[in-house]
Structure 1
Amino acid sequence: MEEAPRLETDLQNAFTEWSIDEIPTNDRTDAWQDVLSHSYREWQVPQRLPATFYASVKQHDFAGAGIVETICDPCVGQRKRAQVRHDDELYVGVQLTTGGRERFRIGDSGVEVTSGDLVVWTTDQEVQFEVLERLHKVTLMIPWSVMRERLPERKQPPSGGKIESHTGVGSLLAVHLLALSNQIESLDQTVQASVSRSTLELLGIALSGQQPSATFDASAAMLRRVKDFILRHLHEEDLNPTRIAEANNISLRYLHMLFQRSDMTVSGFILDSRLHVCKEALIDPAFQRLQISEIAFRWGFNSISHFCRTFRQRYGASPGDVRRAAPSGTSGSDADIV
């Protein structure tokens, strides 16, 4: 298809405007998938579009974020695990629907939005949308790194779901996003940073009253699965991020993104988990005949000096001190020998 490369180039500009009218009928499904992917991260359009399908997109850069205005006829799109894995950066999408009707679906549940509704979603989730009536919407696409920098009190990305947009702060945010989309072309680059700070502060206040949605928990389930794998393999010296990602059929970047949401690193979780099980073993009578070095090696440490140093940093006492302080301690026995 000849149009796709041109679309990719165009959508990287500071301001773009695209219409499906320019695309040959047979190429419209692929072209629409390309436009969605370059506007909202990677999406898949699983159903061929009818010849009468209409869509247009305007995209603006906005102080490190993006504003996307979209009009489209009924269609379906999805971000499955394959698309989510390809992302190397987490984004938060804040969508204001200004006309039409759309349904988001995660697992067995979903949320439906109509004119005036605000919905939040994140790019580390598996999600499907279905446009039910010709849709008009404005979406603010914010890198999580930018949002976290400007809202330092927010430690984790927002949960997906609706924001109350008909009263209170949510109503102010909806009006603000609509005005922003109408005026973004006239905003000088020198003032966009200030406007962006105001936008994110308003968003932060609106999110503080958001009710969490149980439907947007795909990444949490994957994180639990990965952690369970790590805990089952703590005893293996070669347990590392690359092996963990391969064993769970996810990319290394997605693995690090999962732990970023929990404000930790993969290696940090492995180390903390190993230290915890070693500490439990040191005070467990069932392991009292094992030397401290044997306990450390049993759960994946390959250097006793590294184990003792990190153990003291974590618990404020040496492994020997912890063992001797336990009610069933073996003070003075060979088990204290490193």
Structure 2
Amino acid sequence: MAAALRGYVENANGRAFAGLARNLFGNVRLDFSTADEEKSRMVSAMLGACRLTRLEADRHVVFGEHVTAGPNDPDAIKLLVQTEGSALFAQGGLYAPVSQNALVIYDPRRPYMLTNSTPVRQLLLQLPRHALPHAAVERLKRPFITHAEHDGMCRILLSLMDSTMHEIDHLDEARRLSVGQTMIDLVRAMMGAGLPQARPVVNPLDLLLQRIKEFIDIHLARPDLSVATIARRMGCSVRYIYRAFEVEGLTPSDYIWDLRLQRAAAQLQDAGGYAGEISGIAFALGFSSSAHFSRAFRHRYGISPSQWRKARIFVGSVR
């Protein structure tokens, strides 16, 4: 059965399971060997900055050697709760059995392997990296493991994740965002135990905006750079990207195009002025055509790119 999109909820059954897993979790490889892949089921939904997934599958192995290999792969910390079955999680020289109601928080940037030795049911929560304190992320050089039997905060989070999946079709956007933030707060509390609290609390949206701008700066030349692409890389919803830009007073798309025009204006100062070179600057900054570039440039600066170049306007006037 092919993966389906129902609003903000994604589903996959059978052989579509592995494909949706790669799409949502990054460059993971699943090996079912002789097990029955058709028994696989997955339901996944965005909760503001988080993604919550419930899955069940026959025994299989997950290889996460290069999870964030590409710019479109989600850069998120992962939290796994085993609700049924047994598994073995291996990362950073640590081999940890994962039994029922065990919780594992790990950094998928670091290679890992999850061996599900029996049929399993699992809940998986993805949190944007910026949502956790730096000290907590540094702590994930090795996985953070706890168990609901011994950790009250773990029991609360497990219960919230499970009940959310049962009610997911009945939650509006505001409630999904609120639940996602509550889950982030619970994870921060669990991981913050024993960590120094000297640093002031930083607004997660401020950190997210900083990381978005860094990502845009690196990938500005990509014609397909979009809000959806950025959201996937940041591991959060499109709506959350827009929320991060509210302090800027403009949309993410406006920011991208304005930055492209600023770069173009600066580069035109050193350009020879002939059409081919101006077109080269436009294409190198992600514009789809010379005409598109000229229209946008004239709208932004009031003159054409060639007139700007000839006037040799001092770059400091570019705001």
Output the amino acid matched with 1:39.
Answer: L
CA, structure 1 residues 176+43, in 2 after alignment: closer, same or farther (shift >3 Å)?
A: same
Aligned length: 194
Aligned equivalents of 1:201, 1:161: Cα separation in 2: 16
Aligned Cα RMSD in Å? 3.1
Aligned equivalents of 2:64, 2:9: Cα separation in 1: 25
CA, structure 1 residues 52+172, in 2 after alignment: closer, same or farther (shift >3 Å)?
A: closer
CA, structure 1 residues 201+109, in 2 after alignment: closer, same or farther (shift >3 Å)?
A: closer
Aligned equivalents of 1:116, 1:210: Cα separation in 2: 23
Q: Could you say which residue in structure 2 is the equivalent of 1:17? A: 11
Aligned equivalents of 1:99, 1:68: Cα separation in 2: 15
Q: Deviations over 1:54-91 (max 9, x none)?
A: 2100111111321110000101120114x442255421
Which of 69, 89, 111 in structure 1 is aligned with 2:54? Answer: 69
Q: Could you say which residue in structure 2 is the equivalent of 1:115? A: 100
Secondary structure in structure 2 of the residue aligned to 1:133: coil
1:203 aligns with 2:187: yes
Output the amino acid matched with 2:145.
Answer: K
Alpha-carbon contact 1:36-1:43 (below 8 Å) kept? yes
Alpha-carbon contact 1:138-1:181 (below 8 Å) kept? no
Secondary structure in structure 2 of the residue aligned to 1:206: helix
Aligned-pair CA distance for 1:117: 0.9
Q: Could you say which residue in structure 2 is the equivalent of 1:57? A: 42
Answer with 56-65 or 185-194: which moved more: 185-194
Aligned equivalents of 1:66, 1:168: Cα separation in 2: 23
Alpha-carbon contact 1:14-1:60 (below 8 Å) kept? yes
TM-score (norm: length of structure 1): 0.51
Aligned-pair CA distance for 1:41: 1.8
Aligned-pair CA distance for 1:131: 0.7
CA, structure 1 residues 43+52, in 2 after alignment: closer, same or farther (shift >3 Å)?
A: closer
Which of 169, 187, 194 in structure 1 is aligned with 2:153? Answer: 169
Aligned equivalents of 1:138, 1:187: Cα separation in 2: 18
Alpha-carbon contact 2:101-2:147 (below 8 Å) kept? no
Secondary structure in structure 1 of the residue aligned to 2:119: strand
Q: Could you say which residue in structure 1 is the equivalent of 2:87? A: 102
Aligned equivalents of 2:64, 2:32: Cα separation in 1: 14
TM-score (norm: length of structure 2): 0.53
Alignment of 1:76-225 (within 5 A): 76-81=61-66, 83-86=67-70, 89-106=74-91, 108-145=93-130, 147-148=131-132, 153-157=133-137, 158-159=139-140, 160-166=143-149, 167-209=151-193
Q: Deviations over 1:222-263 (max 9, x none)?
A: xxxxxxxxxxxxxxxxxxx9xxxxxxxxxxxxxxx9xxxxxx
The percentage of counterpart residues that share the same residue type is 12
Larger Rg computed on CA atoms: 1
Alpha-carbon contact 2:58-2:119 (below 8 Å) kept? yes
Alpha-carbon contact 2:31-2:60 (below 8 Å) kept? no
Output the amino acid matched with 1:106.
Answer: Q
Q: Could you say which residue in structure 2 is the equivalent of 1:38? A: 23
Aligned-pair CA distance for 1:190: 1.9
Secondary structure in structure 2 of the residue aligned to 1:85: coil
CA, structure 1 residues 46+183, in 2 after alignment: closer, same or farther (shift >3 Å)?
A: closer
**What runs of 5+ residues in structure 2 fail to find an aligned partner?**
196-217, 219-233, 235-319
